[in-house]
Chain A
């Protein structure tokens, strides 16, 4: 009897827990994860101004590949030239999209009220760490950004492989 149950349960549970076992490697082909994405020419970015840039990723979404859009906070720095603050808008608390409040000159998460300064450092509220910065490159006078998801709700910045 227990053998019968085992025979049904093992493949069933393995099927259900499937997502645990395919954490990486499944998305090797055609995914734009891990690639730098074009965020536009440098001239578009005024120095010292926060701006939300949209980039498009291709991701394996179950049975199909989907184009997903991600927006990224970008701020061009005066010194050194061609350097940027590039911050993921995903709140490190629980994943809400963080807004930049021009009137307060800081980032505010609309969900649980976390606030971050203009460098993305945590000022107040429940988030366990500051906003996550993303890698960028300047190629041929254009800004290229690498999108990366991070685990939310923990102090350490742990990249999530997609």
Chain B
């Protein structure tokens, strides 16, 4: 639903703002599950911390969005942007940011809450490296880890976009409306970013990261920032505050939820005793609260359930002090962060600092003690083999020979870089300090010889050669390989055959496994690869064409439309989810299936043109009730249902009850007057184009009804919810037992 311009959007339902809330509400489920399924206590803590934080800060976000919706009088994002339109050159005067001081404060609140929502510093405590390693995604690697990060960065993109939509006039140009037509959609966002973040300087474009570039694999400070910057400019605001040194303590991070007076403060488990110092506030009874001590408190009803302090209840003043503390520490962190917005972004040479490394244009700087490539000064090496013994993975091997002075000198020194972990143990044991680690980190198949003077070579197999290579040999080899093989002299051929691996035809050096070490060979390999890729693409295109033709012939026959094609899969998802919820033995699976079922029901509401109910279903059921149920399952320690497996009689009874219920509901459904006969297949206002546009604005009618016919029940419901909130808090209080 996110609008990139007046025309670039997937659809703009009248409840777009709510829809955003519904989608972001799903995040909590996946994070909780990711932490749980890692089978790792720390990952689970990370997940719980992340969920606690996300849920806490969703409230300020929702309130901010709701305020803007009321201010603009619409929930449609296009409508919100249109409401910020002002003709003339000063079009930024229409931005919600400048409409009222309160809205400016609201923008600040939203910004802070959004930072927390996408786990950016100073709110990255869900993955505090020193405490929980990576948080909920510690146990994930490779593509799965990649998915988490794609999700995280898309989240930032989205949050930045929402900020622009709500407060900065969306895609509209800040100065003069004619820019709208003269600039491509993203360029306007760049202009906004220039104004909002003052960071236009670094928006020059995406740096291509070569996937085989080994430098991209070596972890250096600045790497993350560099990748951050290579995103859409809209995302710069949330991304910018990354490199700053302080992190809030967890309790503080959540305590700062009090920055919105009525926001719900959620307190996660403070971890077992030995983590009390870092996870919790680490004092009093907080320390003793383990996993079972999960408590949810509301700031608004703090008088009923004050947080336990030193030796008992905390006074009201104490509670206020805690909020002030939280706000203060948030402000401290953010001010440190904010300094980096304009300070310290260039170093003496005019290059980028640790914030952004302009590699490979500017050389990347490495810290002192960086363990790069191994370098062996063979003149000093005494062939003591200490390094070989020190190496934990046996990647070093060497041979020696007596030289003309009857001194034992090294003739071969190999490091198998496919094994080396750059631990540096070999350099520490070296008695002559001839084996050192340089600060080099590039392994370039073309330049490995030249840049490192041929001091060490990698070979396919140790038996490939007995010959020691020195620099002149390397130069000669380079010269030979650059020549046309036909024009080689006999001496050169002999030299080659001596060092060549006769079986595989590969030379003894180069990046092992790659097979090429000259630009020509690389070009040849690249050309072959490109050809194969072209052939693959051609085949894929032909297959797609054939498929499209087949599909067209099918569709020409029946009167299937998109809605029908989608309806039955959604219905099947609903039923499959319900079956899983009813039958899965593992209760976590059952809860997840229930989630699928709830999402399917939301989809069915869409088919019924009840998009408001669908969105509420997503927010309340999937984002709220499902999370509660998951917590309930996980905390009741009966995930596998071992203590509560249904007995056989129970199963028979259940099946019988199910059948009876099915028959009864169907009979009742069919007994409704006027439903018999053709009534069931009657068509009323067919759903033909629900994907693109929803014709009836049902949310409008809903709002009217709620505040008119149903006002009294609505108010009663509100009172009931408040009572329920207090009652639930009372039930889970520790001293209530």
Q: Is chain B a partner of chain A in the same complex?
A: no
| B positions within 8 Å CB-CB of A | none
| A positions within 8 Å CB-CB of B | none
